[in-house]
Structure 1
Amino acid sequence: MLKLLLSLYLAVFTSIVVINQLNELIWQQWAVSEPDELRHAQSVAQTLQTSVSPSSLPAESENLKVLQIDDIAWLPEQTSLLRQGQVLTSYNSQGHALLTFAIANSDKLIQLGPFAPATSAADKRWALKLFSYAILAFLLMLWIRPLWLDLLQLKHITASLTQGQLPSATRRSRFSAIATLTEQIRALAAQVARLIENQKLLVNAVSHDLRTPLARLKFALAMLPKESQQQAQAMAEDVTEMEQLIAEMLAYARLEFELEELTMSDVDLNEVIEQQVSKLGKLTEKAIHFQAGGNAVNVTGNNHYLSRALQNLIQNADKYGYSQISVSLQCHNEQASIIVEDDGNGIAKEQWQSIFVPFSRLDESRSKNGGGYGLGLAIVRKIAQWHHGECEVGEASLGGAKFTLTLPLKR
């Protein structure tokens, strides 16, 4: 931070010094040194005033007149300036300048003119200001460019990391104030990318190497003699539980890698809900209530994963509800909300966020004995986030838990 501040201060200080020097040089060469009729006449009047006397008056001409001081009704201030020997500048009705001065030891005046007024320097000042601003912008761009290149590198690093790829090497800028930070983030990104790759390898190993011996073990248990069936049945149940746990873990792990492979399309939420209610209604004795709407409610998403999220919510309500499950669909503020409620014991308010953490189990009623592994709701929230939505929990009107899956409507 100190390096960044010092480099910015140095850049601004250098820019101000350069601009001031250029402005002074340009103003002297362009504005002050430019020929000007009135300025030249003032110099002539000052020179002439020192050389004339009452005895040697110059001859009158079109631009030179000899007057008495009383010939013109001067203002008291003007009269005082003339008697002090100063050159008085006045203007006629056409706006031209008249230069008047008094002859020493005399009441006579010499008046020069008329002369065209001095040209306004306002346009030149504005042009010079715009030039100064352009110079300042150019110098600041020179300072910002290395910083901008490093920020683009950070954007590239994060984009590569989001896709699970190792960031490609780029040339380091020696003049950037955040070059060290960029290198540290690149090293961190490389480490994270390696961890992601290791996780992929672990998922593949679990999928192939662990399931195979479980399948052999399950087959061996089935081949045991009848007198060992009771013990074999208990072991088979443990094997089945391990298979289900592995399936859930693999499903959650794959969610981290399939984002860029998702196929998005128009999905009618009414159809998705009707399919899941019809499918799961055959597997439970609890009543599942859903009132389908007349119009299609379309979102942009993946039909398979949205169905999986809704399936997890309904199965969760089936596990912990007593007799009935309510599913509803609401639309508000360009968002669609799928609401799943049950009539179970509900969830304490202080535990509403914990239930979405992978492998979290809140109490005995939500332990693995009830069939849960703490991954179902984590999968629901991950799918919701994929679709730029959210999943929240609250209190149901039936007395149990209420889960709300919110998704943006198709625009």
Structure 2
Amino acid sequence: MVRLLASLYFFIFVSIIVINQSSEYIWRNWGNQAPNELSYATQVAVNLRDVLNSVGVEHYDQKETLNIININDVAWFPEQRIALENDEVVISFDSNDNYQLSMLLSDDESIIQLGPFAPSRASFFTKYGFRLISFSVLGLLLILWLRPLWRDLEQLKVITERLATGKLDIATKPSRFSAISALTQHIQKLALQTASLMQNQKQLVNAVSHELRTPLARLKFALAMLAPKDPQQVHAMNQDVVEMELLIDEMLSYARLEFSEREMTKEHVNLSELVQEQIDKSAATSRKQITQAVEPNIIVNGNEHYLARVLQNLLQNAEKYGDKQIFIELRALHQGEVILSICDDGPGIPIDKRNNVFSPFTRLDTSRSKETGGFGLGLAIVAKILGWHSGKCWIEDSQFGGAAFTVTLPTIQKLKT
């Protein structure tokens, strides 16, 4: 930042000096080509004095128009008096910049004064045109200084956009004239390292998917062969293997979400129909009483598959930990949002732990027993998918005494029925 500020200060300082000197030179040699009126008036005054000295003031035809005074009637400055005695024209100015010409006649006593004369006013272009041109040149020079900086910022934008969408082929060319070229190179290096880590993670997920499933399949086959010898022990071991498979599936599913956003397409989704569809699926297998209050024809912009995954995870959560009943409510708000609430009558979630449940592999042992299953990834998946859709989820106390999961999403419209 110090380099950037120093570069900008030095550039503006030098530019102003160059522009001022150039403007002054142009004005002297091009913009002020008209005859100097003061020099012209002085020459006319000298000619008039010569005429008066030659013919005499008393014989001049227009002597009544002349202002002739005695030299002692005016308190001259010493240098002015010397100039008059040396036959020079003395120029004086009043408070309005009007000028007056004074000169001594040959009798060494009479002073003839011409004026006062108002100086000619500069034209509009002369007064403001050079200022406008000077500021325009300064603005152009600033644009030239900012161009390499703008190019580097654009490349930083491209880097972040490509990383956000999962595109790892990053190649940029920072400008060596930019004041932030070093910063751009550091960020590009960091982006390449991040891209490498993302690529390694993707390869690790693929490797885990293949390398862990193969030994587990062999272990299940071996357990099946040993089942007749010790059925009870083999059954317990087989449950552990199944749990490992489920854990691997859940981990891989969460890991793949990191690469799914760039492939996700969004469209108009009738959230009311999607919620109703998921409720019907849950009601077909649930032993709990499910009630609902779903407003019809609420449209959101999103991916139907991933929004369905959010609903599935929340409904499964309510099914696992609810006691006897589940309540689902969907309604549109006036602020352009839709709100979805899924309430249960289970043990609930302590206030100080509600934010933690959206972190991966977080399980609340005090309120959620291991027998209910789950690995602490379901709500983490919900939070990630809602983030893609500019939504959010939080936990409140349910009206039935359990937990109430509330989801908000930006809505497009509510269709008329």
Q: TM-score range by the shorter chain?
A: 0.7 to 0.9
- The reply on whether 1:248 has 2:246 as its aligned counterpart is no
Shift of 1:51: 4.5
Give 3-state SS (helix, strand or coil) of 2:412's partner. Answer: coil
Structure 1 residues 229 and 393, CA gap change in structure 2 (3 angstroms): same
Structure 1 residues 348 and 87, CA gap change in structure 2 (3 angstroms): same
Which residue of 1 is the match for residue 343 of structure 2?
A: 341
Supply the distance in 1 between the matched residues of 2:214 and 2:197 (Cα, whole angstroms).
Answer: 25
Which residue of 2 is the match for residue 145 of structure 1?
A: 147
Which residue of 2 is the match for residue 329 of structure 1?
A: 330
Supply the distance in 1 between the matched residues of 2:115 and 2:367 (Cα, whole angstroms).
Answer: 110
Supply the distance in 2 between the matched residues of 1:60 and 1:204 (Cα, whole angstroms).
Answer: 115
- Give 1:67's match in structure 2, choosing from 62, 65, 68: 65
Shift of 1:360: 1.4
Bigger mean CA offset, 22-31 vs 262-271:
22-31
Supply the distance in 2 between the matched residues of 1:347 and 1:235 (Cα, whole angstroms).
Answer: 32
Bigger mean CA offset, 260-269 vs 244-253:
260-269
Which residue of 1 is the match for residue 5 of structure 2?
A: 5
**Share of identical aligned residues, percent?**
44
Structure 1 residues 390 and 65, CA gap change in structure 2 (3 angstroms): farther
Which residue of 2 is the match for residue 236 of structure 1?
A: 238
- Give 1:161's match in structure 2, choosing from 160, 163, 167: 163
Which residue of 1 is the match for residue 195 of structure 2?
A: 193
Supply the distance in 2 between the matched residues of 1:206 and 1:98 (Cα, whole angstroms).
Answer: 97
The TM-score with structure 2 as length reference comes to 0.83
Which residue of 2 is the match for residue 94 of structure 1?
A: none
Supply the distance in 2 between the matched residues of 1:65 and 1:318 (Cα, whole angstroms).
Answer: 120
- The reply on whether 1:22 has 2:28 as its aligned counterpart is no
Q: Is the 1:31–1:121 contact (alpha carbons within 8 Å) kept by the matching residues of 2? A: no
The TM-score with structure 1 as length reference comes to 0.85
Which residue of 1 is the match for residue 210 of structure 2?
A: 208
Structure 1, residues 316-336: CA drift from partner, whole Å, max 9, x if none? Answer: 122222221111112121111
Which residue of 1 is the match for residue 302 of structure 2?
A: 301
Corresponding letter in the other structure for 1:248: E
> 1:103-118 maps to which residues of 2 (within 5 A)?
104=105, 109=112, 118=120
Bigger mean CA offset, 222-231 vs 132-141:
222-231
Structure 1, residues 387-408: CA drift from partner, whole Å, max 9, x if none? Answer: 1211222222222222122111
Shift of 1:196: 0.8
Give 3-state SS (helix, strand or coil) of 1:257's partner. Answer: helix
Structure 1, residues 244-295: CA drift from partner, whole Å, max 9, x if none? Answer: 11111111111111112113222111111111111112222221211232x4
Which residue of 2 is the match for residue 276 of structure 1?
A: 278
Which residue of 1 is the match for residue 38 of structure 2?
A: 39
Supply the distance in 2 between the matched residues of 1:367 and 1:289 (Cα, whole angstroms).
Answer: 26
Supply the distance in 1 between the matched residues of 2:369 and 2:14 (Cα, whole angstroms).
Answer: 68
Supply the distance in 2 between the matched residues of 1:362 and 1:343 (Cα, whole angstroms).
Answer: 17
Supply the distance in 2 between the matched residues of 1:140 and 1:65 (Cα, whole angstroms).
Answer: 62
Q: Is the 1:4–1:178 contact (alpha carbons within 8 Å) kept by the matching residues of 2? A: yes
Structure 2, unaligned runs of 5 or more: 85-89
How many pairs does the alignment contain?
393
Structure 1 residues 265 and 171, CA gap change in structure 2 (3 angstroms): closer
Give 3-state SS (helix, strand or coil) of 1:290's partner. Answer: strand
Supply the distance in 1 between the matched residues of 2:271 and 2:168 (Cα, whole angstroms).
Answer: 37
Supply the distance in 2 between the matched residues of 1:98 and 1:192 (Cα, whole angstroms).
Answer: 76
Structure 1 residues 51 and 395, CA gap change in structure 2 (3 angstroms): farther
Q: Is the 1:392–1:405 contact (alpha carbons within 8 Å) kept by the matching residues of 2? A: yes
Shift of 1:103: 5.5
